[in-house]
Amino acid sequence: FSSSLTMARRYDSSTTTFSPEGRLHQVEYAIEAINNAGTCVGILGNDGIVMASERRITSGLLAPAKTSEKTYKLCPHAACNVAGLTADANILIDQARLRAGRYHYQYQEPIPVEQLVEHVCNYKQSYTQYGGLRPFGVAFLFAGYDENHGFQLYQSDPSGNYSGWKATVIGANNQAGKSLLKSEYGSSSSSEMTDEEETSPDVAGALRLAVKVLNKTMDGTAAAAEKMELFTMKLDESGDVVHHILTQKEAQAVIDEVEAETASAGDS
Amino acid sequence: MDTVFGIQFKGGVVLAADQSNARSILVYQNNLDKVKQLSSHSAMGVSGPNADLVNFTEYIAKNLALYELANDGTKLSTKAQANFCRNELAVALRKGPYQVNLLLGGYDEKEMTGSLYFLDYMASLQKVPYGSQGYASSFCLSIMDKEYKEGLSESDALLIVEHSIKEIATRFLINQPNFMIKIIDKDGVRVHSFGADPAET
């Protein structure tokens, strides 16, 4: 690894060139950039999806954002969470919104979620192969619902790769978050079921689990509602998709529940 | 001069079209199949010059096949297919129009029903319970208006088709001895009957 670091210098300036080891260094550096960004957790529940992110308040003088700087609605049935360069993300979100709209114009039907994700990813990939431009320094969590596959959660990175997940974390300390998810996702504490088998949680359980993960990744800072953004996607009674960013009060309620849970966890 | 018509029934759609391929006073062929299959559970009856009939239906059918290949086997609903066709007609309209008038019929597994769409060369689109294209309309629409009932069965629908063909044979100036009739239901697209076998060269 050390020798490839010194050699890497010669091959890392251009996105469109492989290194002798068969790596695209610019793409890898872009992925690194995201590891410094605010954490985002995504959890697929059986009746919806939760996306929770860390809100980084860089200055007290900042005017509060009218909308989120982490969660973006792409179309009535899909939304995404961003980790990385917000300016880069804006371009890609525009692309996603256009694609969803054009698909609906052409077919008069909502775009299947995976097709939307793949479109954005193909766009990202082209910046790793053509034009000599740098890749996008953004990783996404996509949450969406379609008739074919129900609720789905996808993760994508600057390379243009994507995969579907039951639960995942991107951004700062994502490894710590992922290990927590591995042990806790599907266990009875996060769902109302008391089966021994792994079951997916409901949205309420997923929210609590997401807060738990953020507590871990934001390790050192006290859990507070202003530092987190909690987003849920569910269906209403008429079968329409509902996007909801929890209010301060609702978020605090979840944080309190988690606190109570961890406090009583020590009791046998 | 083409006769194309279709009727939605409970659990599917029936499409019928004459089999004559002619221009001006000359008949080229009497066994042409004008009800072209688009996907496993959809087809469209086409009225218009043979060149556009073939060009347009093959273009749509292959694009639908590409969609299924590119998207892991996901099928487009009949409504989506009809809207896709409409969009293609609309784009071509101000460049080089496809001179085709269509009746697109399909079966959707999710809703377990058939549906029928009327499209014309100017890119209009309307979902209809029954419809027809061309001169035939003057003769068979009134029959369908009278005899069609919502939720009618496949055999009822075929009876209406039979009555319509009889009316056209009696009253339409152009002689159309052969008709291709296809049924689309949960089992896909199948030929119910034809006047002359398209496979015969």
The per-residue pLDDT of chain B, averaged, comes to 96
Burial classification of residue B76, based on how many CB atoms lie within 10 Å of its CB (0-12 exposed, 13-18 middle, 19 or more buried)? buried
Determine the residue of chain A that is closest to B89 in CA distance: A106
Task: Report the C-alpha gap between A148 and B67 in whole angstroms.
Answer: 15
Long-range contacts of B90-96 (CB under 8 A, 24+ apart): B90/B123, B93/B121, B93/B122, B93/B123
Q: Tell me, what's the pLDDT at A266?
A: 64
Shortest alpha-carbon distance between residue B104 and chain A (Å): 15
Distance between CA atoms of residues B179 and B5, nearest Å = 11
Rounded to an integer, the average pLDDT of B163-181 is 96
Distance from CA of A115 to the nearest CA of B (A): 7
> What's the angle, vertex CA A261, arms to CA A255 and CA A266, rounded to 5?
140
| pLDDT tens sequence across A44-92 | 999 999 999 998 877 888 887 766 889 999 999 999 999 999 999 999 9
Cβ–Cβ below 8 Å for A107 and B71:
no
Question: Number of A:B CB contacts under 8 A?
Answer: 23
Tokens of B96: 């080089």
Q: What is the pTM of this model?
A: 0.83
Structure tokens at A19: 């290194």
> How many whole angstroms separate alpha carbon B171 and alpha carbon B167?
6
* Rama region for A41: left / alpha / beta (φ>0; ψ in -120 to 50; rest): beta
Closest CB to A108: pick one of B74, B83, B110.
B83
Nearest-Cα residue of chain B relative to residue A148: B74
- Flag if A109 and B84 touch (Cβ within 8 Å): no
Please name the residue that has the structure tokens 């052969």.
B178
Q: Residues 6 or more apart from B196 whose CB is under 8 A from it? A: B19, B30, B31, B178
pLDDT at A2: 44
Residues of chain A contacting residue B110, judged by C-beta atoms under 8 Å apart: 147
Partner-chain residue, chosen from A107, A114, A147, that has the shortest CB–CB distance to B76 = A107
B72, B83, B110: residue with CB nearest A107: B83
CB atoms within 10 A of CB B138: 13
The reply to whether residue A115 touches residue B71, judged by beta carbons under 8 angstroms, is yes
Please judge whether A107 and B74 are an interchain contact, meaning their C-beta atoms are less than 8 angstroms apart: no
Closest chain B CA to residue A106: B84
What pLDDT, in 10s, does the model give residues A116-163? 999 999 999 998 888 788 899 999 999 999 999 999 999 999 999 999
Check residue A263 and give its pLDDT: 84
pLDDT at A196: 46
pLDDT-wise least confident of A104-113, A180-189, B186-195: A180-189
Q: Which residue of B has its CA nearest to A147?
A: B110
% pLDDT > 70, chain A:
89
Q: Which amino acid is at A237?
A: E
Q: Average of pLDDT values for B40-46?
A: 98
A107, A112, A114 ranked by CB distance to B84: nearest: A107
N-to-C CA span, chain A:
48
**Token duo for residue A101:** 């709209």
Chain B hits for A105, CB-CB cut-off 8 Å, are 87
Supply the Cα-derived Rg of chain A in whole angstroms.
19
- What is the spatial order of strands in the sheet that B188-194 belongs to? B130-133, B4-9, B12-18, B179-185, B188-194
ipTM field: 0.74
Of A109, A114, A115, the CB nearest to B80: A109
Q: How many CA atoms lie within 13 A of A253 on its CB side?
A: 7
Tell me what pLDDT residue A223 has. Answer: 76
Q: Given A109, A112, A148, which is nearest B79 (Cβ)? A: A109
The confidence band for A11, taking pLDDT boundaries of 50, 70 and 90, is: low
Cα–Cα dist B115/B11, whole Å: 9
Q: How far apart are CA A158 and CA A30, in angstroms?
A: 6
Mean pLDDT calculated for residue range A24-34:
90
Q: In terms of C-beta density within 10 A (0-12 exposed, 13-18 middle, 19 or more buried), how is residue A172 classed?
A: buried
3-state secondary structure of B53: helix
CB pair distance less than 8 Å for B87 and A106? yes
- Residue A80's nearest CA partner among A89, A211, B14 is A89
Higher pLDDT, A23 or A60: A23
Interface test with A, best of B60, B71, B88, B108 (most A CBs within 10 A): B71
What confidence score (pLDDT) does residue A190 get?
46
Which of A68-72, A196-200, B166-170 has the lowest average pLDDT? Answer: A196-200
